Amino acid sequence: MRVNFTVNGRKQEADDVWEGESLLYVLRERMGLPGSKNACEQGECGSCTVRLDGVPVCSCLVAAGQVEGREVVTVEGLADFAQQRSASGCATGACGTTLQDARQWSAQGTDSQTGEGAELSPIQQAFIDAGAVQCGFCTPGLLVAADELLERNAEPSDADIREALSGNLCRCTGYEKILDAVRLAAARQEETV
Amino acid sequence: MATTGTPTNITQGSKTKGGIGESTLRPDGTLKVTGEFAYSSDMWHEDMLWGHTLRSTVAHAEIRSIDVSEALAMSGVYAVLTYDDLPTEVKNYGLEIQDTPVLAHGKVRHHGEPVAIVAADHPETARRAAAKIKIDYAELPLITDEASATAPDAILVHENRDDHHIGHVPHPNIVHRQPIVRGDADEAAKRADVIVKGEYTFGMQDQAFLGPESGLAVPSEDGGVELYVATQWLHSDLRQIAPVLGLPEEKVRMTLSGVGGAFGGREDLSMQIHACLLALRTGKPVKIVYNRFESFFGHVHRHPAKLYYEHGATKDGKLTHMKCKIVLDGGAYASASPAVVGNASSLSVGPYVIEDVDIEAIALYSNNPPCGAMRGFGAVQACFAYEAQMDKLAAKLDMDPVEFRQLNAMEQGTLLPTGQPVDSPAPVAELLRRVKTRPLPPEQQWLAAGEQADVRALPGGLSNTTHGEGVVRGVGYAVGIKNVGFSEGFDDYSTARVRMEVVGGEPVATVHTAMAEVGQGGVTVHAQIARTELGVTQVTIQPADTQVGSAGSTSASRQTYVTGGAVKNTCENVREKVLEIGRRKFGSYHPAWATAELLLEGGKVVTDGGEVLADLVDVLEDEAVDLELEWRHRPTEAFDLRTGQGNGHVQYSFAAHRAVVEVDTELGLVKVVELAVAQDVGKALNPLSVVGQIQGGTTQGLGVAVMEEIIVDPKTAKVRNPSFTDYLIPTILDTPTIPVDVLELADDHAPYGLRGIGEAPTLSSTPAVLAAIRNATGLELNRTPVRPEHLTGT
Ligand code: FES
Ligand code: FES
């Protein structure tokens, strides 16, 4: 089967895809985008979280065929995605991403495969600064989920953060520093408004 | 930039930024947040094949026959290998005892044991091919507990044992036994006014690191193989892999690929040999990635344990004696069981003063899943039991549980039951004081947000099971002692290579070790050490591989101590060499070159008075200093096999917890509200990472207190819950705030006075949560994890 979809703003075409292949497998093994992680492949850990037309999903649970003609953002495209969002006047994050927006968004000036040349998004920088990255295997999924939270809710309470990230397991950090990172990104976002 | 001419300017040298004691950020942080960091499961090679392992569906059976013909005939399949295809006479491996077959031969000894391996052009093809392999099993009786293992007529898990423990174990189904006898426990018991006994059960915990076992083996032109893999100790892997492949060690080149957590679960081999065998057989690169189901079979777990304890105390609260027996189930293969026994026995008393003890710890061979290293390593199970005993004693004496502990707390100089003195600060009473005196979180904290109960802060959370009615609070305390580093006479050394040179007009240090960075932050700390010792800002950390000497294992809280020590020591020697060059070039310009204590700071050579003598760029010019040195901490010795006496440990670390829980007594649901911790870290080389480690360890202890357990069916010895659906680890909703109070009492024997930190917080976290649940419910609760049915009596 052939699947056409957009990943981090670039049109992609995957050939000879098996029917059972997940979006996660196609991203990692066919597109050369291993940023989304394979920790359970059962929808239990959130490590593979990507945005599909703006909505965070476990890419291990999405059949590749389901993404035909749709828009996927992975951790590799997160920085550009965030930049694009703030450029379009969504710096408060309160406006969300409409399906339309998600479709129109595209990467600019950077290589979405390596992330080279990309500035970090506020949430990425906050994860580093707050010490929220240890082994980092949970990090890509958490970043995608946390970025979407901040887009919806610019001033999340701790309970909001916990609720939004409850689908993302982390075995190393004890989560405290992940909370710190999300609070930090929210605070910095506030400052820049 | 560089000051040339007379290097005798007398400006003050400035401290180098990013040295030890600062919360510098991870050098791999950017790669990790952008998705570019290459974990072992991300490896990719053109033309690569996928490996898959066929595992035993039964726990104990004779293998009558294996038929691979159908699998081999499938299109896309390149190789199917069984025991018969192994290339040499060496067919087993193991950390200490080589009892683990690369592929099962003759019989299988546990559910999930590897029997055959397949290489194919798509992972699904490999899986389907494996499913076509036909194995004829003749099932054998099961050994599943102490009674069945040690029965006089018990079938032997290993028929032909010839390891060095066999001579002193009472039964061949016992891997290792360590008694410790000190003083006279029976005699001392007569002085006791109260005696408490307890029988405790510790469930089988899993490391559950997120990055699955995986790696890529690439055949090389010289007939050898390159292996990119996630592990905790490259050289230990190499030592076990090369003989099975029939290759000299130089022909197996190992490089650490990104490691997604470890916690002891990567000390043993998993897919390493399998991938190499398939690569060598097919002549193509082979990648193996376990899925989560397979990961539960691919690594050893924490030993489940039965612990039988007796303690006595006088009515004024002084401990009189302790007797205990600790039975650890090691499962089918030895793995790290002998060392776990040594830890469990020698630390079974905990951080208390008890002179008269009678201790025995054993590890069984059984047909349960193999158990080995996990964070806390034998000390965790003991801490769960002795801390429950402390609470029981305090209750019986009508004393405050913290005061009771403080009254009996060890101090610097206290002897362990092995007769070894604790010769560094042991602030047990102080750590307890710190967690106790913290303000408690507000009562009915679920109301804190407003009038309305926030169900997310209640037991049961978003399932909306309660709005606060029937919820009771409890508070519990625990403290523990963990040894740091490998004990019992093990040659626990590390190697570091450090190079210093001028690159692009800047002095740059390069640090190369074989240390496995598993997320703990060793790479950050090594750069900090190099900056501190060499006065440079730019430090490059080379990828870990087997081109440099062994760094030992990233376990036992030892890496910052031992490899950190090796980096420090090598840097000191590099510094001497740099100063020699400086003396040669500039010695005649200033007398301080010959007389003063000289340091490297801020890219300059400075006197201890802060006077700048030269810029490093001028000293080095185009010379490079490059050294590779081994470094050892002070030696330890084996425990006597009859009395358990011996200076077996290098260093200790201590942590105390206070847990606050709220329990919905109707449904048996627990919400841990806060888990405060105080820990002595000796010296915090990187405070940010220190706190991260303590919080992470605390959370794993919380997990085993209330949810984590691999459930092995006692009738079939099969694992019932190998998935994240059924094996639960704490989510962000299950994890409370974890305030951390860090003490820095230097251990004078250690580099910078530091203490290993990673494990101690895992010890006391579990018993503190249990104590808090007991405090809330009044139930006895002698097993972990606590499940709803234990709280509701259903
Ligand atoms: S890998 Fe998709 S949820 Fe775990
Ligand atoms: S940092 Fe290792 S799993 Fe989260």
Residue B484 has pLDDT above 60, yes or no: yes
Q: For residue A89, what pLDDT is reported?
A: 53
pLDDT of residue B431: 98
Mean pLDDT of B590-607: 94
Report how far residue B16's alpha carbon sits from residue B351's, in angstroms, rounded to the nearest whole number. 39
Chain A residues near residue B456 by CB distance under 8 angstroms: 159, 162-163
Report the candidate in B275, B269, B271 with the shortest Cα–Cα distance to residue B232: B269
| Confidence label for B253 from pLDDT (cuts 50, 70 and 90) | very high
pLDDT at residue B65 is higher than 50: yes
Burial of B450 (0-12, 13-18, 19+ CB in 10 A): exposed
The secondary structure of B615-670 as a DSSP string is EHHHHHTT--EEEEEEEE-----PPPTTT--S---SEEEEEEEEEEEEEETTTTEE
- Tokens at B651, concatenated: 């260093």
The first and second tokens of residue B60, run together, are 């104990």
Distance between CA atoms of residues B386 and B404, nearest Å: 13
* Residue A69, amino acid: G
B74 and B125 Cβ atoms separated by less than 8 Å:
yes
Ligand 2 within 6 A of CB of B519 = yes
CA of A172 to the centre of ligand 2 (A): 4
| pLDDT (mean) for B413-442 | 97
Which residues on B lie below 8 Å from A140 (Cβ)? 33, 35
Question: What pLDDT was estimated at residue B8?
Answer: 36
Whole-number Å distance between alpha carbons of B175 and B331: 10
Shortest alpha-carbon distance between residue A162 and chain B (Å): 6
Q: What is the mean pLDDT of residues B92-100?
A: 97
Partner-chain residue, chosen from A47, A129, A143, that has the shortest CB–CB distance to B210: A47
**A188 to chain B nearest CA, in Å?**
18
3-class state of residue A14 by DSSP? strand
**Cβ of A119 under 8 Å from any chain B Cβ?**
no
Pocket lining: A137 vs ligand 2, CB cutoff 6 Å:
yes
> Tell me, what amino acid is at B588?
S
| From A128, A165, A172, A177, mutation site for ligand 2 pocket: most ligand atoms within 8 A of C-beta | A172
Q: Which of B264, B269, B262, B270 is nearest to B291 (CA)?
A: B270
Chain position carrying tokens 């000796």: B682
pLDDT at residue B763 above 50?
Answer: yes
CB distance from A36 to chain B under 8 Å?
A: yes
680-709 of B, contacting A, C-beta below 8 A: 688-689, 691-692, 695-700
**Within chain A, which residues score under 70 in pLDDT?**
88-118, 193
d(CA B773, CA B770): 5
CA distance A68 to B382: 55
3-state secondary structure of B8: coil
Q: At what angle do helices A139-152 and A176-192 cross, to 10 degrees?
A: 40
Residues of B in contact with A74 (CB under 8 A): 35
Phi and psi at residue B472, to the nearest 5°: -120, 150
The alpha carbon dihedral of A135, B761, B420, B334 has a sign of negative
pLDDT of residue A94: 38
Neighbours of B785 (CB within 10 A): 21
Could you tell me if A34 and A28 are in contact, meaning their C-beta atoms sit under 8 angstroms apart? yes
Over residues B109-115, mean pLDDT: 98
DSSP state of B155: P
Q: Which residue has the tokens 């290579």?
A: B497
Token output for B197: 């006994």
C-alpha closest to that of A75 among A30, A4, A123, A40:
A123
Beta strands in B230-339 (DSSP E): 252-256, 286-289, 301-302, 305-313, 319-329
Among residues B592, B594, B618, the alpha carbon closest in space to that of B604 is found at: B618
pTM above 0.90, yes or no: yes
Distance CA B126, CA B76 (A): 8
**What was the pLDDT predicted at A191?**
76
Using CA atoms, how far residue B408 sits from A55, B403, B429, in Å, is 57, 9, 9
Structure token pair of residue B388: 């429950």
Mean pLDDT of all residues in B271-298: 98
pLDDT band with cut points at 50, 70 and 90 for residue B468: confident
pLDDT at B39: 96
Compute and round to an integer the Cα radius of gyration of chain B.
Answer: 28
Inter-chain CB proximity B210 and A138 less than 8 Å: yes
Q: What is the pLDDT of residue B674?
A: 98
B358-371 pLDDT per residue, tens: 999 999 999 999 99
Q: Which ligand is nearest to the CA of A145?
A: 1
Kindly give the distance from the C-alpha atom of residue A140 to the centroid of ligand 2, in angstroms, as a whole number: 10
Predicted pLDDT of residue B449: 64
- The residues, ordered by sequence, that sit 6+ positions from A104 with a Cβ below 8 Å of its Cβ are none
Sorting pLDDT into bands at 50, 70 and 90, what band is B292? very high
- Phi and psi of B611, rounded to 5°? -80, 130
Spell out the residues 6+ positions from residue A15 whose beta carbon is closer than 8 angstroms to its own. Answer: A2
Judged by average pLDDT, the poorest of B18-32, B142-156, B435-449 is: B435-449
Which residues touch B173 (CB under 8 Å, ≥6 apart)? B143, B149, B150, B154, B156, B157, B364, B365, B366
Q: Name the phi and psi angles at B276, rounded to 5.
A: -65, -45
Task: Return the residue whose CA atom lies nearest to atom 1 of ligand 1.
Answer: A41
Q: Which two tokens stand for residue B581?
A: 């060059």
- Give dist(CA B266, CA B301) in Å, integer: 10
Which residue is it, tokens 């402390």? B390
pLDDT of B13 > 70? The answer is no
**B697 Rama sector, left if φ>0, alpha if ψ -120 to 50, beta otherwise:** alpha
The count of C-alpha atoms lying within 13 angstroms of the C-alpha of B262, restricted to the half-sphere facing its C-beta, is 31
B187: contact with A, CB 8 A cutoff: no
d(CA B177, CA B341): 7
Residue B261 CB less than 6 A away from ligand 2: yes
Tell me, yes or no, if A146 comes closer than 8 A to chain B by beta carbon. no
Ligand 2 atom index nearest CA of A136: 1
Task: Look up tokens 């299988």; give the residue.
Answer: B108
- The pLDDT > 70 percentage for chain B reads 98
ipTM: 0.95
Question: What is the pLDDT at residue B446?
Answer: 86
pLDDT tens-digit map of B177-228: 999 999 999 999 999 999 999 999 999 999 999 999 999 999 999 999 999 9
Query: Running DSSP on this structure, what letter comes out for residue B415?
Result: B
Residue type, B739: P
> SS in 3 state form for A81-117?
HHHHHHHCCCCCCCCCCCHHHHHHCCCCCCCCCCCCC
Burial A166-190 (b: 16+ CB within 10 A, else e): bbbbbbbbbbbbbbbbbbbbbeebe
pLDDT of amino acid B347: 98
DSSP codes joined into one string, B165-177:
TGGG-SSTTEEEE
Residue B14 has what pLDDT? 53
d(CA B331, CA B173): 10
Whether residue A136 has its Cβ less than 6 Å from ligand 2? yes
Task: Provide the shortest C-alpha distance from residue A100 to chain B (in Å).
Answer: 25
Amino acid at B198: G
